[in-house]
């Protein structure tokens, strides 16, 4: 009997193995002051330097053959479809390489998903490929926008897109208060942006002032990031992981508003909340449990039995990964359902999350 | 009466009174904070009994809740997410639930605030500190927040917003408005366009300083994601607060107000007539509510390839949703809206790189120039929101199909995630 079971088991494994498609993990970058490009190398370009990387060594290093990097101009609006240019635009205004390149997020995501490897994409519409999407910060904003505007007729003409899950670390799809604050030129709210700069040691252009504003920063204003329907996902589901370490930036929301952030985005964004709420918990389990109407004050069960402890809602098909003890990622705080990591450090958490969840 | 008799009588009266109080308390649902221990025990029993019955009610409610909101599990019950994650996201279960309804008609629930009021701008309070404050630890001296009922205006529509300023104690403060103007979008350099009119707000909870603006011309600077910029002085603290909004002075299309409806395969389809002056890919959205109760039913969203001229835009409200929510009667279609995606090329044509390259190379220089021009234009052109509800006929539940959605996308998805989805086991 046991032998039969073993044989059946082997047969099942064999069948599964035969049916399994080649897995590809597409990493979608966020805001960066460089031009990155699509491909299997994590390389960004600026001023003659191809050496800059967005993701760092951990992402894609262990399963190199599965990694595909979706790159775009990290200062541009993540909702934008770029115009066609037959080459890569250099800083002196000339073009190089064998085009086409768009260098805008929507076009680059589109090309990465739908073009085969022979055309420079990942070929996710090929039934032999199974794509998993992973994103950081504004890359998640770009993906949210892409799938909110996903035209079903594309699948009719080019085949079903084998990409279903998005792992979003430190997602900026709900925008960032720092992008709002960058316009506070006359008030002390600008101190927020300055504090973030101090933490990251980034150039002044990271959260540029009104005289030198990147389209990316403008697009990250919360009112704009939340102006389209994030509940429309074309069926794709997003799993969020937030960072909780503001890096000592001392963001205002930490104290006064009882909210948390990773130094760049608040929980309302990183956790996929559908409203711009101030919360200190990715599942908002930190508050008191609601009692039901008519339950008398002296009933001890009124506060013990919490039918529904949430106060706020997530967008449809947006979930929070609550089991953070992914091997090696560490530092997960279960009272907040978030990692003790800063916004940029969350990129390094991503490979552990992918491993932990069997991707 | 001796003392013993007096105390006995008083004791009996007290006990009777307490019993009476307990009975009254039970009858009234007990809200008094001081209750004798005996009554408390009685009340606890009562509470335990009540707890038991309430738990049953809550469980039943939970069941309805799950059934109703099954496509939105994280919303319905975070505990399910917790349980789910013990073995990783279960994609097969998720997609079976998701595909009960098609992509373009989804349940609208009463906690989906961003879709219940899709027109307003989401804002949050912004802290303001006096000079030399420690923004990390100090309590803000003031809190400022914008409120705006509409995030986009089209044609001659007026954009309006109010600004609320409160001090550290939550008391409304009237700031001095030094300047209020509207700036152009980022692609045109955020130049100042014109002053915004000021008015006094009527609702203290949404600010007493109001601003109104409409595009004085239909030219490029007035189109795009503009910014209301308000310079204010709060008791000597000077700051600039901004609020982005979308302006489309030249509408690419408009709803005519002619609606029709039909039952198609057990689902409700409402058609809204549209007159378009610009062709292209448009996104259309609208939400359905039960007229009698105002209970939200479903939101619909479609990507439509619109041609120049008059055509009907279909809003699908999937039959199964009416059954899952157990809603019938007449319905109101609300927030009928849409926008044109201002793209330099058709993403559908880009799916085949070889073909797309051929098309690009065959473009005339005028076409190429136009494509580059569009790259410097805003992403969206908004169609004016139809201002009133469209009321449907009255329907019975039996008029709608209770069948789940089925289609090639559902089957292909379920097969793919069953074969390749995650779920490699890990230590619990």
Helix (H) or strand (E) run with residue A143 in it: helix A138-148
Range of the domain at B239: 141-248
Provide CB contacts within 8 A for B9, sequence distance 6+. Answer: B1
Give residue A252's pLDDT band: very low, low, confident or very high (50, 70, 90): low
First-to-last C-alpha distance (Å) of chain B: 75
Q: Which of A1-10, A211-220, B392-401 has the lowest mean pLDDT?
A: A1-10
| pLDDT at A48 (0 to 100) | 63
Q: What is the mean pLDDT of residues B225-233?
A: 94
pLDDT at B198: 93
Q: Mind telling me how many Å the CA of A37 is from chain B's nearest CA?
A: 17
> A-contacting residues of B 207-226, CB under 8 Å?
225
Is residue B178 pLDDT above 70, yes or no? Answer: yes
Of A340-354, B35-49, B133-147, B293-307, the range with the highest mean pLDDT is B293-307
A163 has which bridge partners? A131
Q: What is the mean pLDDT of residues A273-296?
A: 61
Alpha-helical regions (H) of B103-222: 113-116
Domain count, chain B: 1
Domain membership of residue B220 (yes or no) is yes
B54 touches chain A (CB under 8 A): yes
Please report residues of B whose CB lies closer than 8 A to that of A72.
none
Q: Which of A76, A79, A80 is nearest to A89 (CA)?
A: A76
Mean pLDDT in residue range A249-262? 61
Cross-chain CB nearest to B85 (options A107, A149, A323): A323
Rounded Cα–Cα distance for residues A60 and A324 (Å):
20
The per-residue pLDDT for A57 is: 76
Nearest by Cα to B94 from B65, B73, B64:
B73
Query: In chain B, which residues have their Cβ closer than 8 Å to the Cβ of A157?
Result: 348, 351
Predicted local distance difference test score (pLDDT) of residue B374? 82
What pLDDT is recorded for position B105? Answer: 97
The mean per-residue pLDDT over the stretch B128-142 comes to: 70
DSSP state of A218: H
Whether B339 is covered by a domain: the verdict is no
- Predicted local confidence at residue B373, as pLDDT: 80
Q: What number is the average pLDDT over the span A299-323?
A: 62
Phi, psi of B417 (to 5 degrees): -75, -30
Residue A134 makes CB contacts below 8 A (sequence gap 6+) with A25, A26, A27, A28, A59, A166, A167, A168, A169, A350, A354
Spatial CA neighbour of A132 closest among A168, A93, A167, A89:
A167
Q: Chain A: give the shortest CA distance to residue B404, in Å.
A: 15
pLDDT score for B138: 66
Q: What is the mean pLDDT of residues A213-236?
A: 92
**Residue A265: C-alpha distances to residues A78, A138, A285, A308, B328 (Å):** 16, 10, 19, 26, 42
Question: ipTM for the complex?
Answer: 0.84
Q: Which of A13-17, A101-105, A223-227, B351-355 has the highest mean pLDDT?
A: A223-227
CA distances to A173, A179, A314, B190, B239 from A213, in Å: 19, 10, 30, 9, 19
Give me the mean pLDDT over the B147-152 stretch: 96
∠ at Cα A39 (A34, A44), nearest 5°?
15
> Mean pLDDT over residues B375-389, rounded?
95
Is residue B308, in this structure, part of any structural domain at all?
Answer: no
Compute the average pLDDT of residues A325-348. Answer: 83
Query: Does residue B281 sit within a domain?
Result: no
A307 lies within 8 A of chain B by CB: yes
Q: Which residues contact B338 (CB under 8 A, 6 or more apart)?
A: B253, B274, B282, B283, B284, B285, B313, B382, B383
Q: pLDDT class for A192, splitting at 50, 70, 90?
A: low
A145 has pLDDT over 90: yes
Q: For position B149, which CATH number holds?
A: 2.60.40.1930
Of A130, A150, A250, the CB nearest to B137: A250
The arithmetic mean of pLDDT across residues A235-244, rounded, is: 91
Mean pLDDT of chain B: 80
Q: Read off the pLDDT band of B333 (50, 70, 90).
A: very high
CATH class of A22-356: alpha beta
d(CA A81, CA A108): 8
Q: In the predicted model, what is the mean pLDDT of residues B71-90?
A: 38
- B57 versus A54: the higher-pLDDT residue is A54
Q: Is pLDDT at A111 greater than 60 in this prediction?
A: yes
pLDDT digits (tens, 9 = 90+) for B97-108: 889 999 999 999
Tell me if B135 and A188 make a contact (CB, 8 A cut-off): yes
Its sign, for the CA torsion A199, A204, A210, A216, is: negative
The tokens for A80 are 């934008």
Between residues B282 and A3, the one the model is more confident about: B282
**Residue B152: what pLDDT?**
98
Which pLDDT value is given to residue B311? 98
Per the CB < 8 Å rule, is B187 touching A227? no
Contact: B115, A150; criterion CB under 8 Å? no
Position A188 pLDDT exceeds 90: no
At A284 the pLDDT is 67
Mean of pLDDT values over A233-262: 75
| pLDDT at residue B137, as a whole number | 61
Residues 253-312, chain B, touching A (beta carbon < 8 A): 281, 283, 285, 299, 301, 303, 305
Based on DSSP, count helices (H) and strands (E) in chain A, helices before strands: 11, 13
On whether any CB of chain B is under 8 Å from the CB of A331, the answer is no
- B343 located within any domain: no
Residues with Cβ within 8 Å of residue A207, at least 6 apart in sequence: A178, A179, A181, A182, A193, A196, A197, A217
Nearest-CA distance from B88 to chain A in Å? 5
- Closest partner residue to B72 (CB to CB) among A221, A256, A316 is A316
Identify from A238, A271, A296, A314 which residue to disrupt to test chain B contact, counting B C-beta atoms within 10 A and taking the largest count: A296
- Inter-chain residue contact A299 with B47, CB threshold 8 Å: yes
CA distance B386 to B334: 8
Residue B218 has what pLDDT? 96
Phi, psi of B123, deg, nearest 5: -135, 165
Residue B317's pLDDT band (boundaries 50, 70, 90)? very high
A311 touches chain B (CB under 8 A): no
Q: Return the structure tokens found at B66.
A: 């799950």
Task: Kindly report, residue by residue over B11-20, the tens digit of the pLDDT.
Answer: 444 444 444 4
Q: Please tell me which of A108-117, B35-44, B251-260, B359-368 the model is most confident about, judged by mean pLDDT.
A: B251-260
pLDDT computed for residue B136 by the predictor: 57
Q: How far is B8 from chain A (nearest CA, A)?
A: 30
B352 touching chain A per CB within 8 A: yes
In this predicted model, which residue has the larger pLDDT, B342 or A297? B342
Consecutive H or E run containing B195: strand B192-195
Q: Does B236 touch chain A (CB under 8 A)?
A: no
For chain B, give percent helix, strand, coil, nearest 5: 35, 35, 35
Identify the residue with better confidence: B26 or B242. Answer: B242
Q: Across chain A, which distance is largest between two alpha carbons, in Å? A: 79
Whether residue B249 is predicted with pLDDT greater than 70 in this model: the reply is yes
* More confident: B263 or B135: B263
pLDDT in tens, B278-313: 999 999 999 999 999 999 999 999 999 999 999 999
């Amino acid at each position: 009997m046991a032998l039969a079971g073993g044989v059946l088991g082997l047969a099942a494994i064999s069948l599964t193995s035969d049916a399994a498609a080649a897995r590809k993990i597409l990493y979608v970058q966020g805001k960066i002051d460089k031009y990155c490009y699509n491909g299997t190398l994590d390389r960004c370009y600026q001023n003659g330097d191809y050496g800059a990387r967005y993701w760092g060594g951990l992402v894609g290093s262990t399963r190199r053959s599965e990694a595909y990097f979706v790159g775009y101009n990290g200062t541009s609006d993540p909702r934008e479809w770029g115009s066609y240019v037959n080459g890569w635009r250099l800083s002196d205004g000339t073009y190089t390489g064998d085009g086409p390149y768009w260098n805008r997020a929507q076009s680059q995501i589109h090309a990465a998903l739908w073009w085969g490897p022979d055309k420079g994409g990942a070929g996710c519409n090929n039934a032999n490929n199974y794509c998993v999407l992973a994103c950081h910060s504004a890359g998640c904003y770009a993906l949210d926008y892409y799938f909110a505007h996903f035209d079903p007729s594309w699948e009719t003409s080019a085949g079903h897109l084998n990409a279903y899950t998005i792992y979003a670390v430190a997602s900026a799809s709900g925008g960032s208060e720092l992008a709002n604050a960058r316009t506070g030129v006359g008030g002390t709210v600008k101190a927020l942006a300055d504090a973030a700069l101090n933490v990251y040691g980034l150039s002044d252009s990271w959260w540029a002032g009104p005289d030198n504003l990147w389209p990316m920063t403008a697009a990250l204003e919360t009112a704009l990031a939340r102006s389209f329907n994030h509940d429309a996902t074309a069926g794709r589901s997003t799993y969020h992981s937030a960072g909780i370490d503001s890096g000592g930036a001392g963001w205002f929301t930490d104290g006064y508003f009882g909210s948390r952030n990773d130094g760049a985005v608040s929980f309302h964004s990183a956790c996929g909340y559908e409203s711009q709420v101030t919360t200190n918990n990715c599942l908002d389990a930190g508050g008191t449990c609601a009692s039901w109407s008519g339950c008398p004050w002296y009933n001890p069960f009124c506060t013990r039995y919490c039918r529904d402890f949430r106060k706020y809602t997530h967008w449809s098909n947006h979930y929070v990964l609550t089991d953070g003890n992914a091997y090696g990622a560490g530092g997960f705080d279960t009272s907040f359902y978030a990692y003790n990591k800063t916004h940029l450090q969350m990129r390094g958490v991503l490979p552990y999350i992918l491993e932990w969840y069997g991707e | 009466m001796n003392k013993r008799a007096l105390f006995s009588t008083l004791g009996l009266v007290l006990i009777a009174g307490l019993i009476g109080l307990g009975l009254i308390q039970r009858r009234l649902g007990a809200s008094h904070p001081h209750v004798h221990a005996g009554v408390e025990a009685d009340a606890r029993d009562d509470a335990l009994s009540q707890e038991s019955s309430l738990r049953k009610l809550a469980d039943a409610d939970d069941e309805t809740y799950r059934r109703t909101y099954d496509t939105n599990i994280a919303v319905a019950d975070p505990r399910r997410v917790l349980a789910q994650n013990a073995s990783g996201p279960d994609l097969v279960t998720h997609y079976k639930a998701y595909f009960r309804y098609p992509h373009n008609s989804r349940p609208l629930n009463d906690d989906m605030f961003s879709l219940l009021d899709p027109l307003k701008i989401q804002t949050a309070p912004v802290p303001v500190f006096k000079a030399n404050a420690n923004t990390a630890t100090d309590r803000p001296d003031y809190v400022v927040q914008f409120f705006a009922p509409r995030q986009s205006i089209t044609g001659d529509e007026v954009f309006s917003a109010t600004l609320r300023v409160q001090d550290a104690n939550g008391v409304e403060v009237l700031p001095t408005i030094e300047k209020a103007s509207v700036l152009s979008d980022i692609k045109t350099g955020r130049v100042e366009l014109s002053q915004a009119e000021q008015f006094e707000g009527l609702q203290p909870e949404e600010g007493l300083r109001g601003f109104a603006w409409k595009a004085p011309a239909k030219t490029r600077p007035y189109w795009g994601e503009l910014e209301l910029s308000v310079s204010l002085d709060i008791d000597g603290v000077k700051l600039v607060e901004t609020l982005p909004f979308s302006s489309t002075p030249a509408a690419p299309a408009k709803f005519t107000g002619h609606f029709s409806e039909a039952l198609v395969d057990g689902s409700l389809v409402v058609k809204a007539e549209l007159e378009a002056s610009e062709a292209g890919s448009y996104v259309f959205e609208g939400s359905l509510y039960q007229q009698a109760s105002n209970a939200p039913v479903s939101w619909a969203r479609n990507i439509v390839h619109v041609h120049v001229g008059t055509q009907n835009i279909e809003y699908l409200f999937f039959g199964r949703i009416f059954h899952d929510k157990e809603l019938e009667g007449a319905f109101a279609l609300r927030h009928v809206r849409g926008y044109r995606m201002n793209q330099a090329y058709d993403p559908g044509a880009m799916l085949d790189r070889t073909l797309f390259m051929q098309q690009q190379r065959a473009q005339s220089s005028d076409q190429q120039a136009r494509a580059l021009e569009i790259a410097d234009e805003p992403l969206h052109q908004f169609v004016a929101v139809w201002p009133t509800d469209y009321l449907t006929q009255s329907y019975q539940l039996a008029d709608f199909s209770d069948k789940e959605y089925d289609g090639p996308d559902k089957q292909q998805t379920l097969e793919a995630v069953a074969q390749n989805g995650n779920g490699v086991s890990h230590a619990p």
